[in-house]
């Protein structure tokens, strides 16, 4: 395998679906250091094990906590920077959803989804940017660092299975664009990808999966590796001229 990325990566929501595939992809493409965040410590161990078996020299840090905890976010970024020397790429993946329309949505469900998908992501991005601003600018291809946020096609259109989820994913794109415009001149790139929501929640919402597959142009589900490859591209020097983008990785969903 050709080494396409030789630095360090920090991932939230790293132990299932897109997150697990992305951790494996960074290792496959040459990452030497991975810092993985997930709320489940056993899942962290289960993700790290096959990576270490395939890539024995890779250094992995595990952080079992919920990203809505500001203090733990700060501590994880600080520990990663101290252990690795710098943080080259960040992928903010962690997210949740509830189902139901506005008239059925409970206040606590709204707050829970926005708390993770927006507040938690912002807690992470704030600390990530602070850390990257303190790092050396390594030139136009590398800069000080790169951030990739996981949004959804629900962040581009009016879809999604709940108003809270849709609102949160629109907000993620807004935050991505704002911080991209603010920090690009400082050598920090910020981008997002918009994935089909049901790829991330197919076990939770099987009916939506069936309907979606039947109506999108490509007529199939994504393999998680297909999404992870785009994330690695955007985060690495291969995507060095992409900034402030919300890239649909959606099998043609937003084309119809």
Cα gap 149→239, rounded to integer Å: 14
CA angle 147, 37, 32 (to 5 degrees): 65
| End-to-end CA, the chain | 36
Cα gap 228→232, rounded to integer Å: 6
Is 165 tagged catalytic?
yes
Q: Could you say which of 28, 29, 165, 183 is catalytic?
A: 165
Is 183 tagged catalytic?
no
What is the length of the chain? Answer: 256
Cα gap 179→1, rounded to integer Å: 34
Q: Could you say which of 49, 169, 183, 186 is catalytic?
A: 169
Cα gap 47→62, rounded to integer Å: 10
Which positions are annotated as active-site residues?
165, 169
């Amino acid at each position: 395998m050709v080494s396409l990325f030789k630095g360090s990566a920090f991932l939230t929501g790293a132990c299932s679906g897109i997150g697990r595939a992305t951790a494996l992809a960074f290792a496959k493409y040459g990452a030497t250091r991975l810092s993985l965040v997930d709320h489940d410590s056993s899942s962290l161990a289960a993700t790290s094990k096959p990576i270490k078996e395939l890539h024995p020299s890779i250094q992995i840090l595990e952080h079992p906590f919920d990203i809505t905890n500001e203090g733990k976010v700060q501590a994880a970024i600080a520990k990663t920077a101290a252990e690795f020397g710098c943080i080259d790429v960040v992928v903010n993946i962690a997210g949740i959803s509830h189902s139901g329309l506005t008239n059925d949505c409970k206040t606590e469900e709204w707050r829970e989804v926005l708390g993770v998908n927006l507040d938690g992501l912002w807690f992470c991005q704030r600390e990530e940017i602070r850390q990257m601003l303190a790092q050396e600018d390594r030139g136009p291809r590398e800069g000080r660092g790169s951030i990739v946020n996981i949004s959804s096609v629900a962040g581009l259109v009016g879809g999604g299975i709940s108003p809270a989820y849709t609102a949160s994913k629109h907000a993620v794109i807004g935050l991505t664009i704002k911080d991209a415009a603010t920090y690009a001149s400082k050598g920090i790139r910020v981008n997002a990808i918009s994935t089909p929501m049901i790829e991330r929640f197919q076990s939770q919402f099987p009916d939506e999966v069936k309907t979606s597959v039947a109506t999108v142009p490509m007529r199939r589900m994504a393999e998680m590796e297909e999404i992870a490859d785009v994330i690695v591209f955007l985060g690495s020097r291969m995507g060095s001229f992409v900034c402030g983008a919300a890239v649909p990785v959606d099998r043609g969903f937003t084309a119809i």
